[in-house]
């Protein structure tokens, strides 16, 4: 029986420069899709997958993120007085049990690998998940839950994988596939941001991982790589070299890159259309917009 995955690391210490000036004072993860911050989608997905301990790697200026998970006594008592039960329930989902959440500081933005490594003392000898909250995934069964179930069979390291068109390969880490087993592939290499034509497959790694504690040991030895950053990919690649089992998991669902403006806007529209109370008005607006644009062409 493999170890259960009960801890997740949320690296949220990046500078979020693509969203400046907003991210000068608001953490990127607090930006909202409809009415919920990106981080809430990530937390809900982790909870659905059975995660019990939530580890945030933060940095300067992320105070709003820490406050978000606190109780808001004045707001709650005012809603209670007004008998606003539904809103009280909405707030309930934002609270964390005492001791379930931990914050670790990454003092310098030295990359995703370094951010994960900063949390090493909170991980024991057990597999753990890493969730990048800017990758928001709409799925019937939440993506991490799909992965945890698959990981119970395989063990080792697992990365979420998504098919991308060849022209987009240079924006992702791309998997070199040893064996394709359908929803899962075993991996024999990973190429960071290959030019179109040089990508070993069309399977890109996106922001969900289940990793073994050995990856944290690998990170301890890894020097700064591309862009002066310590890359998580390099530490996972060492697991491939040591033949300890690295898998790509083709999740079922739609991923939005909310770290980019275009992806964030697409997610806003898509999550808006998924809400019963908004869908009619939003659809009318989109139809009208399409008609006006067609007429103008």
Q: Is 210 in the site for ligand UTP (CB under 6 A)?
A: no
Q: Is 171 in the site for ligand UTP (CB under 6 A)?
A: no
Nearest position to ligand UTP, beta carbon? 14
Query: Is-contact 150 249, C-beta < 8 A?
Result: yes
The residue within the footprint of ligand UTP, chosen from 134, 146, 175, 249 (CB under 6 A), is: 134
The residue within the footprint of ligand UTP, chosen from 5, 7, 8, 16 (CB under 6 A), is: 16
Q: Quote the radius of gyration of the chain (alpha carbons, Å).
A: 20
Q: Is 88 in the site for ligand UTP (CB under 6 A)?
A: no
Least distance between ligand UTP and beta carbon 225 (Å): 13
Chain positions 231 to 290 lying near ligand UTP, rule: CB under 6 A, are 259
The closest alpha carbon to 111, from 28, 219, 189, belongs to 219
Give the count of residues interacting with ligand UTP (CB under 6 A).
Answer: 20
Q: Is 15 in the site for ligand UTP (CB under 6 A)?
A: yes
Can you tell me the distance from the alpha carbon of 70 to that of 94, in angstroms, rounded to the nearest whole number? 8
Q: Is 132 in the site for ligand UTP (CB under 6 A)?
A: yes
Q: Is 160 in the site for ligand UTP (CB under 6 A)?
A: no
Tracing tokens 């949220």 back to the chain, one arrives at 12
CA distances for 149 relative to 14, 22, 141, 161, 205, angstroms: 30, 37, 11, 15, 18
DSSP structure class, residue 134 = T
Residue (16 or 194) nearer to ligand UTP, CB = 16
The closest alpha carbon to 4, from 53, 65, 64, 67, belongs to 53
The residue within the footprint of ligand UTP, chosen from 5, 9, 11, 209 (CB under 6 A), is: 11
CA 72, distance to chain mean position in Å, is 26
Q: Kindly give the residue spans of alpha helices, DSSP state H, lying in the chain.
A: 38-48, 63-68, 73-81, 85-92, 112-118, 143-154, 214-221, 232-241, 261-273, 276-296
Site map 29..68 versus ligand UTP, x via CB under 6 A: ----------------------------x-----------
Residue (106 or 146) nearer to ligand UTP, CB = 106
What lies within 8 Å, CB to CB, of 183 at 6+ separation is 150, 249, 250, 252
Q: Is 205 in the site for ligand UTP (CB under 6 A)?
A: no
Least distance between ligand UTP and beta carbon 232 (Å): 9
The residue within the footprint of ligand UTP, chosen from 8, 42, 112, 258 (CB under 6 A), is: 112
Can you tell me the distance from the alpha carbon of 59 to that of 14, in angstroms, rounded to the nearest whole number? 8
Contact footprint for ligand UTP (CB under 6 A)? 11-18, 28, 57, 106, 109-112, 114-115, 132, 134, 259
């Amino acid at each position: 029986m493999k170890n259960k995955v009960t801890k997740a690391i949320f690296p949220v210490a990046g500078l979020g420069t693509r969203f400046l000036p907003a991210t000068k004072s608001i953490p990127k993860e607090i930006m909202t899709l409809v009415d919920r911050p990106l981080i809430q989608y990530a937390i809900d997905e982790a909870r659905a997958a059975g995660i019990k301990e939530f580890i945030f790697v933060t940095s300067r200026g992320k105070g709003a993120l820490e406050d978000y998970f606190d109780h808001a006594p004045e707001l709650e008592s005012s809603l209670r007085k007004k008998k606003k039960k539904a809103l009280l329930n909405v707030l309930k989902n934002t609270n964390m049990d005492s001791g379930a959440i931990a914050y670790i500081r990454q003092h310098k933005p030295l990359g995703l690998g370094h951010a994960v490594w900063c949390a090493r003392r909170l991980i024991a000898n057990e597999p753990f998940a890493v969730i990048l909250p800017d990758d928001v995934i709409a799925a019937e069964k939440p993506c991490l839950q799909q992965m945890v179930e698959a990981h119970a069979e395989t063990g080792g390291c697992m990365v979420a994988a998504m098919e991308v068109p060849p022209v987009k390969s240079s924006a992702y880490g791309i998997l070199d596939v040893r064996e394709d087993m359908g929803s899962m592939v075993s991996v024999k290499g990973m190429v960071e941001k290959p030019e179109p034509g040089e990508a070993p497959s069309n399977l890109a790694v996106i922001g969900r991982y289940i990793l073994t504690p050995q990856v944290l040991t690998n990170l301890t030895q890894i020097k700064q790589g591309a862009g002066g950053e310590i890359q998580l990919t390099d530490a996972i690649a060492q697991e491939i070299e040591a033949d300890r089992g690295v898998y790509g998991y083709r999740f079922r669902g739609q991923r939005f890159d909310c770290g980019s403006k275009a992806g964030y806007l697409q997610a806003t529209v898509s999550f808006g259309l998924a809400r019963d109370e908004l869908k009619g008005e939003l659809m009318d607006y989109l139809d009208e917009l399409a008609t006006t644009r067609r007429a103008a062409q």
